[in-house]
Amino acid sequence: MQNIILLGYMGAGKSSVGKVLAKKLERDFYDLDWYIERRFRQKVCDIFAERGEEGFRKIERNMMHEVAEFEDIVLALGGGTPCFFDNMDYLNTRGITIFMNASPDTIVSHLKISHTVRPLLQQKQGQELLDHITHQLEERMPFYRKAQHIIDVNCLDSFDKIDTLVDQIIETIKQ
């Protein structure tokens, strides 16, 4: 069995879906940001503040390589992970990559109910937040589209729908 690697913009639901997917497939689940926080005993937002985005991205790349060497896991990446270095090409060699595609409006609605601190979005609200997400999604799309599979996640507004999406992912990777 191969690793299953979930990617997409922050707030797309990678961790929520990944946990359910891992449970259904009886695999271990790893969220790359949480893994980094445990390894460095520091929150991602604090690493960002201390080392800047470039410093964080180097750490992220090293930790991604470490986790991607595990076997038969479900891995949820940070939103920017696929967009730096040769990360996306490497990930495509380490497992089945699935881009969880969400519209900017869906992402904003997911972020509003999330309790996670998002360093790249702090101080942004309303139209400014939507514009920022729209612009960043456009920049990141060429990287995201390198995934082996693309799943639309604009419908994720309940646990039942997460379950349905997980079933869809399982069917997709069986083909």
Whether residue 1 is predicted with pLDDT greater than 90 in this model: the reply is no
Residue 127: the pLDDT is: 87
Query: In this structure, is residue 171 part of a structural domain?
Result: no
The Cα 50–Cα 53 span in angstroms is 9
Query: In this structure, is residue 157 part of a structural domain?
Result: yes
Residue 115: the pLDDT is: 62
Query: In this structure, is residue 63 part of a structural domain?
Result: yes
Residue 41: the pLDDT is: 97
**Paired residues of 108 in beta bridges:** none
User: Which residue matches tokens 């201390």?
Assistant: 50
Residue 113: the pLDDT is: 75
User: Do 57 and 80 form a contact (C-beta atoms < 8 A)?
Assistant: yes
Whether residue 108 is predicted with pLDDT greater than 90 in this model: the reply is no
Query: In this structure, is residue 173 part of a structural domain?
Result: no
User: Do 119 and 49 form a contact (C-beta atoms < 8 A)?
Assistant: yes
Mean pLDDT of the chain: 92
The Cα 38–Cα 168 span in angstroms is 31
User: Do 82 and 7 form a contact (C-beta atoms < 8 A)?
Assistant: yes
Query: In this structure, is residue 86 part of a structural domain?
Result: yes
Range of the domain at 24: 3-165
Query: In this structure, is residue 174 part of a structural domain?
Result: no
pLDDT band at 118 (very low <50, low <70, confident <90, very high): low
pLDDT per position as a tens digit, 33-63: 999 999 999 999 899 999 999 999 999 999 9
Residue 74: the pLDDT is: 98
Residue 99: the pLDDT is: 98
Average pLDDT over residues 105-113: 84
pLDDT band at 93 (very low <50, low <70, confident <90, very high): very high
Number of domains in the chain: 1
pLDDT per position as a tens digit, 12-25: 999 999 999 999 99
Residue 75 belongs to a domain with what CATH number? 3.40.50.300
Whether the pTM exceeds 0.85: the reply is yes
Query: In this structure, is residue 175 part of a structural domain?
Result: no
Query: In this structure, is residue 170 part of a structural domain?
Result: no
